[in-house]
Structure 1
Amino acid sequence: MAKIKLKILVLILSTSLFYSQKPNEANVSEKIPVVGVKKGLSDEELMETVQKQTFRFFWHYGHPVSGMARERSNTVKCNYYWDYINEAWDEPNLSIGTFGPDAIAVGGTGFGIMSTIVAVERKWISREAGLDRIIQIADFLTKADRFHGAFPHFMDGNTGKTIAFGRLDDAADLVETSYLMMGFLCAREYFNQNTVKDNYLKKRVNEMWDAINWKWFTNNEKKLYWHWSPTQGFDMNFPIWGYNEALITYIMGAASKWHPIPKDAYDGSWAGATTFKNNTKYYGYELPLGNYGEDKGGPLFFEQYTFQGIDPRGLKDSLNIDYEVQTRNHTLINRAYCIENPKKHVGYSERCWGLTAGDSYKGYVAHSPATDLGVIQPTAAISSMPFTPKESMQAMRYFYEELGGKIWGEYGFHDGFHLGKNWSSNTYIAIDQGPIIVMIENYRTGLFWKLFMNIPEIQTGLKRLGFTSKSPVIKK
């Protein structure tokens, strides 16, 4: 069996998922009402409904002190561990106890910032209210824990102190930091009027952006490391190998003005990884990159985190990989696997598909063709809207109109469901909620592809790594 350099997060419950008393929500004057299921909506009305209700997770359920995105909507007692198959890393079970209502997600907050821009653009909230929320988050982060400029995976929404993700993962998380900064850079680009508040946000964002020492995380090697700790150093020994959800981290690292990574770090541990190229056909679709064999490219979030900001249309790297083909074909392969349904799970069909990381009846699992428990995550198909608009719309309409009574709630679709077990998670997770809003918007208007690809630093980062783009919004 080939060695797979893939980090998979698995949630092992010491008790079952449970709800505590609902924590305080953010204090907002501009309310977004909860709506139920209404059949017969046009495609535009359906997209608007799903985006808007999903946004309530970030707007109403945002942490009342920091304004940041809570990790999830429920309190859970658990053990997390990394299942990591790699000769260089073999960390045992990492117990970290309880995640409560004050645990906020750094990467999920980046997605939440982008979602707030959508809310302003679509006039669900006022420009001032959205800008105030993003400034609240930026101000809070000035006092939060940082390590060579990078933020941790989780932190306390009251204090900004790190919440350890594991014994060796107790400080900087460079990938989560890159998602956060993707959101902030989009906000800096969007709120660009010459006003006191716009200029204040720009100053805050630039301070955070300039302080991140991306090069530090190479450890003077031809690779980029995911984690660093002031007590453990680089002992976690976790290079960011390609291909997975972390391409954005290399682009951001190369984009830095003061602390850029060298291209040989990208060539060494990303494009040089044995798991980078695939070039195999599955169901008639050639997959340029990603996990091979039975995993058929892996979970769909690989295509949905980086490409919230990076426009894959006409995007090619120095190896002539076509990312428009990659994002579309990986999605179609995932869907085709669900239609084939080799494990005969109840409900899988051309309308009901999508395997990615999320809550299941066994806890949090990175679902994929190789790890198929019969659980569908609505975010998988819906967040693929820019790549497979017809297929994603068909799935979203089925989730809403046919399953809505079971899986539709105050913050949109529940994170996961299993029709054969008549089970729904009844939970919401920040990193699954955000891409639904952002990627539907990229399909509708291309908003974030326009914003992010127009940022001079991002164009510099792409060029330094050898990318070229025919995107209609990138400057030549």
Structure 2
Amino acid sequence: MLLDRRAVLEGSSLLLAGAALPWPALASRRRLPDFYDEIEQRTFRFFWETANPKNGLVPDRWPTPSFSSISAVGFALPAYAIGAERGWCTRAAARDRTLTTLRFLWNAPQGPARAGTSGYAGFFYHFLDMDTGLRYRDVELSSVDTAILLMGALFVGQYFDHDDAREREIRELSQKIYARVDWNHFRADGRAGIAMGWHPEQGLIDRDWSGMNEGMFIYILALGAPVHHVPANSWDAWTASYGPFWRGEGATRRLAFAPLFGHQYSQMWIDFRGIRDAVMRQAGFDYFENSRRETYANRAYCSSNPMGWRGYSRNLWGLSACDGPGNLELPYKGQKRTFFGYAARGPIDEPDGRDDGTIAPTAALGSLPFAPEIVIPCAATLMRQPGLFDRYGFKDSFNPSFNYEGVRLETGSVDPPHGWLAKDYLGIDQGPILLQAANYRDEFIWRYMRRVPAVRRGLTLAGFSGGWLAGGRAQRG
């Protein structure tokens, strides 16, 4: 279906305005409205209060009883530092929780066995038992979820810089956990790229990380690794498949990927402002600007609302991966429509696009640094949605169009006047909300990650130059 021309033109004009506002021009906007303090503090409390204090593992979701998501643990590590900076916990408490987590990760059993381990070759399984820390059922050894965990570990290795025994141990464990990872385990069988996962039962997953999605930072970490690094030309395997992902012209020209989390996960850790690889030097803008344009495109799509869902508007938008009511086919406005449970969502005219009327707060709020002028009004509107903002901030998602009664839901509940509302908070969706607010306020995550030698090394070996990388060298060690 074609987008409404007026909404597309509106989005284009906003993009043009956005492209003319480099980050320094936004400095005066870094003070967020008072209501955002409450969003951040409640989101912090999700990680602080739901983690297992004995091992630092964080549940995939809450309040539904859940296994731990290793990527949620990665988001929790900087969350503790944010809490210490904002006065929501003491630095000592944040330090001790961080150290507990890193000690567990370093000592957790590794090996190729199907059971009784937490990971292999330095990587961790996607999900772990909350208490034992061992592989949950038959989940995959995950390259991307381990990468999020490593980013969190590298961050705390910079943040905890005091000269005392516990903070020194945090720094040492951070480096040891990262150095242990053998990235070439995911490049067996002559692959140029890095595989998405591995099972001890079947081996590597067929699909590699390629195109435009959340996998960008995997290659940066793998290139920058001090021991088991990948060849310097591995970045080419990532960018070589960009072709089908290009969309738009002029100020809307961008590498598109429909779910917004794919544009957020690398950039909440790595400051891509002003640095460019060969592809972006040719394009004439950087990946930060690319994500800004894609944020506007997501909003323009929801404003146009080609599928006619209830509730979408210029201030109520945001499509990404999130919970949904369930995998169902039901009538909607005289047509049969398909709804989904947990799934990646985004504009239907972009790669991996899928739209069933479900909005995820993490989609817009995770893009705060890219486009604060449209994200903050959306956040204010989300605060007014019945039942959405609660104990730990925003519940994962909601769908105003799904007001069916008597159907079997995968999760959540239906209030006919307002539609479907998720039951749970998800760690991987809470993380972007909190970390990106910290980046917007004072570049908190970016400032410390710019100090990580491996990040600078990986970017330089991938061909990035300019900006804060000027004068850096791509040496190992």
- The farther-off stretch of 448-457 and 215-224 is 215-224
Instruction: Say if 1:285 and 1:333, in contact at 8 Å, map to a contact too.
Output: no
Amino acid at match of 1:377: A
Cα displacement (A) at 1:222: 1.3
Cα displacement (A) at 1:221: 2.6
Equivalent-residue separation in structure 2 for 1:115 and 1:210 (angstroms)? 23
* Alignment partner, residue 60 of structure 1: 49
1:334 to 288, 298, 303: 298
Secondary structure of 2:323's counterpart equals: strand
* Alignment partner, residue 241 of structure 1: 210
User: Does 2:59 correspond to 1:70?
Assistant: yes
* Alignment partner, residue 309 of structure 1: 269
Q: Deviations over 1:387-429 (max 9, x none)?
A: 00010000011111x22x4211111011101123322102100
Equivalent-residue separation in structure 1 for 2:271 and 2:201 (angstroms)? 38
Amino acid at match of 2:372: P
User: Does 2:397 correspond to 1:416?
Assistant: yes
* Alignment partner, residue 93 of structure 1: none
Amino acid at match of 2:269: G
User: Does 2:366 correspond to 1:388?
Assistant: no
* Alignment partner, residue 398 of structure 1: 381
Q: Deviations over 1:146-176 (max 9, x none)?
A: 211111111112112111455xx3xx21111
Equivalent-residue separation in structure 2 for 1:351 and 1:308 (angstroms)? 23
Cα displacement (A) at 1:287: 3.6
Equivalent-residue separation in structure 2 for 1:239 and 1:226 (angstroms)? 5
Scaled by the length of structure 2, the TM-score of the pair is 0.79
Equivalent-residue separation in structure 1 for 2:456 and 2:168 (angstroms)? 22
Instruction: Say if 2:456 and 2:469, in contact at 8 Å, map to a contact too.
Output: no
* Alignment partner, residue 428 of structure 2: 431
Amino acid at match of 2:41: K
Amino acid at match of 1:223: G
What are the residue-to-residue correspondences of 1:70-89 with 2, within 5 Å? 70-75=59-64
What are the residue-to-residue correspondences of 1:258-273 with 2, within 5 Å? 258-268=227-237, 270-273=238-241
Amino acid at match of 2:459: L
Question: Cα–Cα, structure 1 residues 361 and 285, in superposed 2: closer, same or farther, change >3 Å?
Answer: farther
Amino acid at match of 2:272: P
Question: Cα–Cα, structure 1 residues 474 and 385, in superposed 2: closer, same or farther, change >3 Å?
Answer: farther
Cα displacement (A) at 1:470: 1.2
Equivalent-residue separation in structure 2 for 1:246 and 1:257 (angstroms)? 20
What are the residue-to-residue correspondences of 1:97-136 with 2, within 5 Å? 100-101=65-66, 103-136=67-100
Equivalent-residue separation in structure 2 for 1:298 and 1:353 (angstroms)? 13
1:49 to 38, 42, 47: 38
RMSD, matched Cα: 1.9
Cα displacement (A) at 1:266: 2.3
Equivalent-residue separation in structure 1 for 2:453 and 2:62 (angstroms)? 36
Cα displacement (A) at 1:472: 8.8
Question: Cα–Cα, structure 1 residues 446 and 376, in superposed 2: closer, same or farther, change >3 Å?
Answer: same
Equivalent-residue separation in structure 2 for 1:458 and 1:254 (angstroms)? 9
Cα displacement (A) at 1:225: 1.1
Instruction: Say if 1:192 and 1:198, in contact at 8 Å, map to a contact too.
Output: yes
Secondary structure of 1:60's counterpart equals: helix
Instruction: Say if 2:158 and 2:448, in contact at 8 Å, map to a contact too.
Output: yes
Instruction: Say if 2:142 and 2:196, in contact at 8 Å, map to a contact too.
Output: yes
Equivalent-residue separation in structure 1 for 2:80 and 2:471 (angstroms)? 23
Instruction: Say if 1:215 and 1:260, in contact at 8 Å, map to a contact too.
Output: yes
Cα displacement (A) at 1:279: 4.3
Cα displacement (A) at 1:275: 5.3
Question: Cα–Cα, structure 1 residues 279 and 425, in superposed 2: closer, same or farther, change >3 Å?
Answer: closer
Question: Cα–Cα, structure 1 residues 317 and 228, in superposed 2: closer, same or farther, change >3 Å?
Answer: same
Instruction: Say if 1:356 and 1:367, in contact at 8 Å, map to a contact too.
Output: yes
**Deviating runs (4+, > 3 A) in structure 1?**
274-277, 471-476
What are the residue-to-residue correspondences of 1:161-310 with 2, within 5 Å? 161-164=134-137, 166=139, 169=140, 172-219=141-188, 220-234=190-204, 236-268=205-237, 270-273=238-241, 277-281=245-249, 285-290=251-256, 297-310=257-270
Secondary structure of 1:359's counterpart equals: coil
Instruction: Say if 1:407 and 1:417, in contact at 8 Å, map to a contact too.
Output: yes
Equivalent-residue separation in structure 1 for 2:447 and 2:470 (angstroms)? 5
| Structure 2 residue ranges without an equivalent (≥5) | 1-30, 110-117, 327-340, 349-353, 404-418
* Alignment partner, residue 108 of structure 2: 143
Cα displacement (A) at 1:285: 4.5
2:347 to 364, 369, 386: 369
User: Does 2:456 correspond to 1:459?
Assistant: yes
Instruction: Say if 1:285 and 1:332, in contact at 8 Å, map to a contact too.
Output: no
Among all aligned residue pairs of Structure 1 and Structure 2, give the percentage whose two residues are the same amino acid: 30
Secondary structure of 1:375's counterpart equals: coil
Equivalent-residue separation in structure 2 for 1:309 and 1:367 (angstroms)? 23
Instruction: Say if 1:312 and 1:327, in contact at 8 Å, map to a contact too.
Output: no
Q: Deviations over 1:61-105 (max 9, x none)?
A: 112432221001143xxxxxxxxxxxxxxxxxxxxxxxx43x101
Number of corresponding residues: 394
* Alignment partner, residue 23 of structure 2: none
Equivalent-residue separation in structure 2 for 1:286 and 1:391 (angstroms)? 16
Amino acid at match of 2:218: T
Equivalent-residue separation in structure 2 for 1:472 and 1:346 (angstroms)? 46
Instruction: Say if 1:181 and 1:209, in contact at 8 Å, map to a contact too.
Output: yes
Secondary structure of 2:342's counterpart equals: strand
Bigger fraction of residues in helix: 2
Secondary structure of 2:252's counterpart equals: strand
Secondary structure of 1:415's counterpart equals: coil
Instruction: Say if 1:243 and 1:276, in contact at 8 Å, map to a contact too.
Output: no
Equivalent-residue separation in structure 1 for 2:244 and 2:150 (angstroms)? 25
Equivalent-residue separation in structure 2 for 1:341 and 1:230 (angstroms)? 44
Cα displacement (A) at 1:289: 1.4
Q: Deviations over 1:229-272 (max 9, x none)?
A: 333222x212111210110100000110111111322212x111
